[in-house]
Each structure stands twice: as C-alpha cells, then as structure tokens.
C-alpha cells in the first residue's frame, strides 16, 4: 500500500482539501497529522482511498464523499458524513449534532456519544453510535439503519418515514409517527453481523434487548 502524509497544521481548509484530492489519485492511503479541528475535511472526495486523520476534526468531515474510508482518531464536529453516497467514516471519540445526516449509503460509526438529530433525513446506509444520542434521533428518517448502543433522549424517530432505529439503552420518548417494538430473530442476527464487523462486543442477551423504532402504521 502506498501512503502519503499531510502535515495540516499550517494549512487552511481549501489548501488541505486540494492536497487530499490531488494525492488521492496516486496513493492508496493518506495520513493527515495535526488537523486542528478544521472543517470540511475531505469534502466531496470521489476517490476510493483510505484517510487516517490523527486528531479531532470540525464540522462536515467527509461530506458528500463517494467511496473513501475515513478514520478519525479523536472527535468530530457537526454533520459527520453528511450526504455521503458510499464509503465509511469511523470516529473513535464523540461527535456533534447530525452524524450521518442525509446519507444515501455507506457507514458512519461514532464510538462515543453524539449530539442531537443523529441520522436526520438519512435515505440509506448505516449509522452506529457506541454511546448515547441526543434529541430527535432519526428525525425525518427515510431509510437505512440507525443503531444506538446507549440511551436516546426526547422524540426519537420524530416524523420517521422509512428505515429502522435500533436502541439498546433507554428511550426517553418517541416522536410523532414513531412506534417502538421488540426485535425479531432476523433483526438480532443482522445487528450482530453489523456490530461485530466494527468491533463491538455484545452478549447474546444484549441483542435480545434491542428495541426497534419504526414508522407507526397509523402515521401519515
């Protein structure tokens, strides 16, 4: 595997993204050091490349990517993975509001806690939160799978249209048009396959304790 290292400390956002896109054509992996919470890192990247970011990033990391695999060693700001088509974003720490907003495919993994409106208007793909998620998790969700291993606060699944939210912890309240039920054996097998792939170690009992939030049959 060919690698290219970018020292981002003295770069502005445009310069950093220009360097990422230029070298993504010729290298299999790009390592970014000292990102200093810059915003919009790898925005619009279309190359099938691995990106390792050593540090925390700002908002809209990986927005509108198609194919890239991004690994962030610390935290991320708002809207990580916004509207990505395919690819993968793994955040080892926590993230701000709107993780996985509007994604069409691919996977966003936040190993810690995330803010509000996680998975908002997502159309497909998978979002995994290893910790807790804030209010209106799954707001206006249109498809895909949203998995939360911790607790979810108010109005989970607000105005959900399609897709499924799985919660292992507690759900403070459901939003409009959302209903909660037990998971099926098929749900549990699917969850185990997804979560094991990303290194989450749960017991068989844990999988039976997941709750499933979907659109109410009476919802408009």
Token digits for 72? 């962030």
For 6-32, what is each residue's pLDDT tens digit? 999 999 999 999 999 999 999 999 999
For 152-184, what is each residue's pLDDT tens digit? 999 999 999 999 999 999 999 999 999 999 999
Any idea which residue has 């995994």 for tokens? Answer: 128
List all residues 6 or more positions away from 23 whose beta carbon is below 8 Å from its beta carbon: 4, 6, 30
What is the rounded CA–CA span in Å between residue 152 and residue 136?
A: 9
Cα dihedral sign, 111-87-192-219: positive
At 194, give phi and psi (nearest 5°).
-70, -50
What is the rounded CA–CA span in Å between residue 82 and residue 36?
A: 20
For 77-101, what is each residue's pLDDT tens digit? 999 999 999 999 999 999 999 999 9
Query: In the predicted model, is pLDDT for residue 56 greater than 60?
Result: yes
Q: What is the pLDDT of residue 220?
A: 53
Bridge partners of residue 29, in order along the sequence: 3, 50
Query: In the predicted model, is pLDDT for residue 219 greater than 80?
Result: no
Bridge partners of residue 152, in order along the sequence: 133, 171
Token digits for 184? 């099926």
Mean model confidence pLDDT for the chain: 97
Burial 123-150 (b: 16+ CB within 10 A, else e): bbbbbbbbbbbbbbbbbbbbbbbbbbbb
For 34-55, what is each residue's pLDDT tens digit? 999 999 999 999 999 999 999 9
Query: In the predicted model, is pLDDT for residue 218 greater than 80?
Result: no
Q: What is the pLDDT of residue 1?
A: 82
């Amino acid at each position: 595997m060919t690698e290219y290292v970018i020292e981002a400390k003295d770069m502005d956002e445009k310069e950093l993204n220009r360097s990422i896109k230029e070298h993504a054509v010729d290298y299999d992996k790009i390592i970014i050091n000292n990102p200093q919470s810059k915003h919009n890192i790898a925005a619009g990247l279309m190359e099938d490349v691995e990106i390792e970011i050593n540090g925390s990033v700002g908002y809209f990391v990986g927005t509108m990517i198609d194919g890239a695999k991004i690994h962030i060693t610390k935290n991320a700001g708002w809207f990580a993975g916004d509207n990505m088509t395919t690819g993968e974003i793994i955040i080892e720490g926590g993230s701000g509001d709107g993780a996985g907003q509007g994604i069409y495919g691919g996977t966003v993994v936040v190993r810690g806690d995330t803010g509000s409106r996680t998975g908002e208007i997502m159309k497909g793909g998978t979002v995994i939160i290893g910790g807790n998620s804030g209010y209106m998790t799954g707001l206006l969700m249109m498809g895909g799978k949203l998995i939360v291993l911790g607790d979810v606060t108010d109005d989970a699944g607000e105005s959900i249209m399609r897709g499924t939210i799985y919660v292992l912890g507690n759900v403070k309240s459901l939003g409009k048009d959302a209903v909660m039920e037990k998971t099926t054996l098929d749900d549990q097998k699917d969850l185990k396959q997804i979560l094991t792939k990303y290194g989450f170690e749960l017991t068989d009992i844990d999988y039976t304790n997941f709750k499933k939030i979907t659109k109410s049959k009476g919802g408009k």
